[in-house]
Amino acid sequence: MITAIYPGSFDPITNGHIDVARRAARIFGKVVIGVFEKPTKIVTFSLEERVKMASEAVKDIPNIEVRPFYGLTVDFAKEVNANVMVRGLRVSADFEREFDMAMMNRKLSPELELVCFIARPEYQFLRSSLLKEIARVGGDIANFVPAHVARALKEKNGNSPI
C-alpha cells in the first residue's frame, strides 16, 4: 500500500483542499493530511482547531487521516511511512514555489516522490487567506468551504454562527 502525505497549514481547509485530498485518496492506499504546527504565515486558527476542521471535512473518506506535524515535512513523511507527497497547483506561481520546495525535499529525502494535482477550474482562485478576508468583512464563503468551517470563521470574526 502506498501512503501519501498532504501537508499544509489548512488555515482553514477549503473545498479545493478537500478536492485534492479526495482525488489523492482514489489513487493512494492511505492519505495523511499533515497540518503543520508553525507555518511561516500568521494563522487564524490554532493547530487543534485546524486539525479538527480538517478531520470533520474528510470524515467520509475512510483512507484519509488527519494529523498535526512539527518540524520538517520530510521527517513527517518518514514518521508516517509515506513515500509520496501530494500538493495542489492552482496557478503558475504555485508551480514555481512547489518546484523549489520539491528540489529541496529531494535533497533532504531522495526517496520521497512529489505528485501534484492541478486544481479544478472552480477551485483555481481559492486561497485560505482570501476567504478569511471575505469572511472578516461579512462576505458569504459558503460555496468555498464546508459549513462547519464557514461557521468557525464567522465565530472567529465575532459574528454569530450561521
Is the per-residue pLDDT at 81 higher than 60? yes
Catalytic residues, by residue number, are 17, 41, 90, 128
pTM of the model: 0.91
Q: Which residue has the higher pLDDT, 162 or 7?
A: 7
Averaged pLDDT, 136-156: 92
Averaged pLDDT, 136-154: 93
Is the per-residue pLDDT at 99 higher than 90? no
The C-alpha atoms of residue 29 and residue 143 are separated, in whole angstroms, by 29
Is the per-residue pLDDT at 160 higher than 70? no
pLDDT for 105: 87
Residue 82, judged by CB atoms within 10 A of its CB (0-12, 13-18, 19+), counts as buried
The answer to whether the CB of 29 falls within 8 A of the CB of 97 is no
Q: Provide the pLDDT confidence category of residue 8 given band limits of 50, 70 and 90.
A: very high
The answer to whether the CB of 22 falls within 8 A of the CB of 33 is no
Structural domains in the chain?
3-124 (3.40.50.620)
